[in-house]
Each structure stands twice: as C-alpha cells, then as structure tokens.
Amino acid sequence: MGEPGTKDMISLDELEAAGGLMTGRKHILSILVENKPGVLTRVAGLFARRAFNIDTLAVGPTDDPTVSRITLTLDGAVHPIDQVTKQLHKLVNVLKIRDLEPEETLARELALFKLSADGAARAEVMQICEIFRAKIVDVAKRSVVVEITGTTDKIEAFERLVRPFGLIEMARTGEIAISRGRNET
C-alpha cells in the first residue's frame, strides 16, 4: 500500500475493510458514566433498541462521586463489538468506554450459593469450599450459604461441583473488572 504523504497510488485491491466483524469471544466493557438519574436506563435501553444481548451487568460507584462504572459482558460471537461501543459513545452521559483486553484485565464476580447440606454431605461441601477458597457465611440445620469470589470460570466450576448436593438457589453479581498495572481502566 502506498505510504500516506507520498504520491504512490494505492491499489484498490489492497484495501481491507475494517469493522463490523464478530470477534467470537467474550468481551468485558467497562463504561464510565455520569452519576445521574436514568443513565442506566439509557444504557440498558440502547441494548434493547439495537437488539444487543447483555450477559452480565454490574453497576457501582467509582472513586469520583459524580461518576459511576457499568461493567457489562457480552458475546462477541453474536455482536459486532465496535458497533456496540460506538452506539454507547453516542449516549451523552457516557464518558468513557474500555473494551478490556482479557490478558490485561482482572475480572471478578461474587456469588452466593444456598446448598442443602446435611449429614455427610456437609463435610464434603466444606471441603470443596476450602479448595475454592469459598466461605460458609450461614449455617442452618439442613443448609449452608456459601460466598465465593473469582472469575466467572471459577464460579461456574464451583457450581458444577456443588450442584449434585442440592443447589437451592444462587445469586451472582455479574463481573466487575479493572485493568492490571498503573494505567487507569
């Protein structure tokens, strides 16, 4: 391809189209928004309007009280991520969007599991919890509540292991994420 700034012509055949492509992997978007009423509705509404499907969503304050962080995950196999981020950027209350690189990102989720655990099962559940560094935060006669944090993979692995004991219910926060190193997310 001809160098910009020279008189070399470029051949049209050499031009590659950019964008509109599916990446095929999970994406974590970290979105800084103004902390104003209705902003979450605008973000969620945009996803509905454009037929984008949110996998998980977590909202919380940041170090700056005027700014909130929305962390959402979505599937790059079914969504053109650059189109999602460009549409999000058009929202006036959206300040910054980062499509976090998996290798440079720490992502964590908190989950609470209510398990039926009586008799021998209880010991086994406790053992699994120990391996996963999960905490038992409530004990009743025939059940326990377990708190666990980690990546989505870890939580799903934990779920697979404890489900046979009798999973009564489960609550998960959805992932939050922050970039590694000194630079801001």
Partner 1 sequence: MRAVDALMECLKAEGVEVVFGLPGGANLPTYDAFYDAGIRHILVRHEAGGGHAAEGYAKATGKVGVAFGTSGPGATNLITPIADAMMDSVPVVFITGQVRTELIGTDGFQEADMLGMTLPIVKHSFMIQHPLEIPRAIHEAFHIARTGRPGPVLVDIPQDLSRAEIPYEPVTDVRLPGYQPTTEGNQKQIRLAAKALANARRPVLYAGGGVVNGNAAQELRDLAMSDRFPVTCTLMALGAFPAPHDQWLGMLGMHGTRAANYAMDEADLIVAIGARFDDRITGKLSEFAPRAKFIHIDIDPAEISKNVPAHIPIVGDAKNILPRLTSEYRALSADRGRLEEWWARIHGWQRQHPLRYEDSADTEVTPQFAIQAIHQATGGEAIVTSDVGQHQMWTAQYYDFPEPRRWINSGGLGTMGFGVPAAMGAAIGVPDRTVVCVAGDGSVQMNAQELATCAQNRIPIKVIILNNGFLGMVRQWQELFWDNRYSQVDLGQYPDFVKLAEAYGCTGVRLTDKTTLVEDLRAAIATDGPVVVDVRVTREANVYPMIAPGQAARDMVG
> DSSP for 33-77?
EE--TTHHHHHHHHHHHTT---SEEEEEE-SSTTEEEEEEEEETT
CB closer to partner 1, 2 vs 61:
2
- Cβ at position 21, least distance to partner 1 in Å: 8
CB closer to partner 1, 38 vs 181:
38
CB closer to partner 1, 16 vs 169:
16
Cα–Cα separations (whole angstroms), residue 49 to 38, 93, 157: 16, 17, 34
Which residues of this protein are in contact with partner 1, per CB under 8 A?
2, 4-5, 7-12, 15-21, 33-34, 37-38, 41-42, 45-46, 48-49, 80, 82-83, 86-87, 89-95
Q: With 0-12 CB in 10 A as exposed, 13-18 as middle and 19+ as buried, what is 111?
A: buried
> Which of 2, 28, 21 minimizes the C-alpha distance to 152?
28
- Cβ at position 87, least distance to partner 1 in Å: 5
- Cβ at position 15, least distance to partner 1 in Å: 4
CB closer to partner 1, 16 vs 103:
16
- Cβ at position 10, least distance to partner 1 in Å: 5
Q: E strand or H helix at 109, and its extent?
A: strand 105-116
- Cβ at position 69, least distance to partner 1 in Å: 14
Asked if 115 contacts 125 with a C-beta cutoff of 8 angstroms, the reply is yes
CB closer to partner 1, 86 vs 135:
86
Q: E strand or H helix at 165, and its extent?
A: helix 152-166
